[in-house]
């Protein structure tokens, strides 16, 4: 503009271009940090550009972040979020509007990675990926453990040492991956899918040693989290130190504070198991011996009962009881018949006489049967001079073939038992033999 500004007449475009020149040529406005609250956020998915406003208590500033810068954001900007942006002030000449063209953005008082972590955590939690009901139990005695980590880090060495010490018979299968950097999430997810495809292990450990939030960021990847959630094999997360938390920790079936702790949680301690087995064995032996002792005492007590020591005496007592009851039964019946006889008329007396005769006949039959039963009683045979022979186990001797020279025999008589030894055995039709 070479004319006198006091008298010259300018077009709108000229003024806008002049203002654009003044602003964009200013070294102060070429690189500025501005803090404010995001409002009117519009993100165009096709172009990848974001348009929004920054506002505070008294003012509003338009802002734009083009795709090349927006792609580097670690979090998702939202309306109402207070942020610090860096960029330069530019002017869009056709409309005469100035704005800040942002090349970076950080949440105010809260790092971008931390904001992204909280956003993803909230999202996946709302979908139920962290629910306890989804978590699978860790097998008590795995035959093989899959480990997804760096093959050169300290974590894998710690895991190998713990597994070999606690459970040397358990096989370890290593799936080597990057554990930080842009390619790490994809490789970690591939490890989960590999073990699920071939089903070669019973439990998976995924993790790495400690580090900063940036170094652990691969374990906050959304795709990795969903891959772990879809795993049919239980997954133990072992990322960083005890104070480090990642999305992996929340979605896995079990979170271990360190890689070493993950190895301890994955397999049992064989030494401890051996000690428990010895304790169980000793306890079982004690109970078995106590039970056998009790049963031996019970058996000895039963074997000393009179019915086993002298069965003939027991049977004689029962026979006397039967005789006494029989006599009482007959006398009672006769007494009742006599009492009823006096109250009967002659006709009834005749009927009573017939019944009495029938009863007498039944009594004679009963006594006859009782006599026959008595004759069949093996103990009655003993009263006639015979004896019953038993071996040391109480088994009846029925033949000379059941006896060998030198055997101890028990001869049961009607009034006692005689112990004898077989010196010679005589068999019908054969000569004597010793």
Are 290 and 225 part of one and the same domain?
A: no
Is residue 241 a contact partner of residue 210, using CB atoms and an 8 Å limit? Answer: yes
DSSP string of 236-256? EEEESSTT---HHHHHSSEE-
Q: Let me know if residue 283 belongs to a domain.
A: yes
In a domain, 219, yes or no: yes
Residue 184 belongs to some domain of the structure: yes
User: What's residue 351's pLDDT?
Assistant: 61
Residues 283 and 373 both lie in one domain: no
- pLDDT for 379 equals 60
Task: Assess whether 66 and 151 both reside in one domain.
Answer: no
Statement to judge: residues 105 and 87 lie in one domain: yes
Beta pairing partners, 203:
145
pTM of the model: 0.51
Cα torsion through 57, 61, 64, 65, rounded to 10 = -50
Q: What is the domain-level CATH number for residue 77?
A: 2.40.50.140
Residue 129 placed within a domain? no
What's the total number of domains in the chain?
5
Contact 252, 206 (CB under 8 A): yes
CATH code, 216: 3.40.50.960
Residues 283, 340 within the same domain: no
Residues 143 and 264 in one domain: yes
81 and 196 housed in the same domain: no
- Residue numbers of the domain that contains 403: 388-421
Please give the pLDDT value at position 187.
Answer: 96
Q: Determine the pLDDT at residue 264.
A: 94
Q: Are residues 162 and 258 in the same domain?
A: yes
Asked if the structure places residue 340 within a domain, the reply is: yes
Q: Examine residue 4 and state whether it is found in any structural domain, yes or no.
A: no
What residues have CB less than 8 Å from 168, skipping those under 6 apart?
A: 270
pLDDT value of position 110: 61
Q: Tokens 């942002």 — which residue? A: 102
Pick from 92, 196, 86: which is nearest to 148 by CA? Answer: 196
Statement to judge: residues 90 and 166 lie in one domain: no
Are residues 32 and 21 part of one domain? yes
Does some domain include residue 123? no
Q: What pLDDT score was predicted for residue 352?
A: 61
Asked if the structure places residue 427 within a domain, the reply is no
Judgement on whether residues 73 and 170 belong to the same structural domain of the protein: no
286 and 235 together in one domain = no
Ranges under pLDDT 70 in the chain: 1-7, 109-112, 307, 341-356, 358-363, 366, 369-385, 414, 429-434
d(CA 426, CA 421): 14
């Amino acid at each position: 503009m070479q004319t006198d500004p006091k008298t010259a007449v300018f077009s709108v475009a000229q003024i806008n271009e002049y203002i654009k020149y003044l602003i964009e040529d200013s070294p102060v406005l070429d690189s500025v940090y501005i803090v404010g609250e995001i409002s009117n956020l519009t993100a165009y998915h096709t172009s990848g550009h974001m348009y929004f406003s920054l506002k505070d208590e008294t003012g509003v500033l338009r802002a734009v972040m083009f795709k090349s810068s927006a792609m580097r954001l670690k979090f998702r900007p939202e309306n109402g979020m207070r942020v610090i942006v860096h960029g330069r002030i530019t002017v869009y000449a056709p409309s005469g509007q100035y704005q800040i063209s942002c090349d970076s953005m950080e949440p105010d008082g809260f790092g971008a990675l931390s904001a992204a972590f909280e956003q993803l955590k909230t999202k996946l939690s709302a979908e139920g990926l962290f629910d306890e009901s989804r978590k699978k139990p860790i097998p008590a005695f795995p035959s093989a453990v899959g480990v997804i980590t760096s093959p050169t880090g300290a974590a894998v060495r710690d895991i190998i040492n713990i597994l070999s010490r606690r459970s040397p018979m358990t096989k370890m299968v290593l799936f080597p991956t990057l554990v930080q950097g842009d390619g790490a999430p994809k490789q970690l997810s591939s490890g989960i899918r590999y073990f699920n495809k071939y089903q070669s292990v019973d439990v998976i450990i995924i993790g790495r040693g400690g580090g900063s939030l940036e170094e652990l960021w691969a374990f906050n990847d959304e795709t990795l989290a969903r891959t772990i959630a879809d795993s049919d094999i239980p997954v133990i997360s072992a990322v960083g130190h005890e104070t480090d938390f990642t999305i992996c920790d929340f979605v896995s079936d079990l979170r271990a504070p360190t890689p070493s702790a993950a190895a301890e949680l994955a397999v049992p301690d064989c030494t401890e198991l051996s000690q428990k087995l010895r304790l169980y064995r000793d306890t079982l032996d004690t109970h078995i011996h106590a039970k056998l002792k009790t049963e031996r005492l019970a058996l000895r007590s039963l074997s000393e009962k009179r019915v086993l020591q002298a069965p003939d005496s027991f049977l004689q007592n029962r026979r006397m009881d039967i005789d006494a009851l029989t006599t009482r039964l007959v006398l009672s019946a006769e007494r009742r018949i006599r009492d009823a006889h006096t109250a009967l008329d002659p006709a009834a007396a005749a009927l009573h006489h017939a019944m009495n005769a029938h009863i007498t006949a039944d009594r004679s039959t009963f006594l006859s049967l009782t006599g026959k039963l008595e004759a069949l009683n093996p103990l009655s045979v003993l009263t006639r001079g015979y004896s019953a022979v038993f071996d040391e186990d109480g088994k009846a001797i029925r033949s000379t073939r059941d006896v060998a020279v030198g055997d101890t025999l028990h001869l049961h008589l009607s009034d006692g038992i005689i112990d004898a030894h077989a010196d010679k055995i005589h068999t019908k039709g054969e000569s004597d033999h010793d």
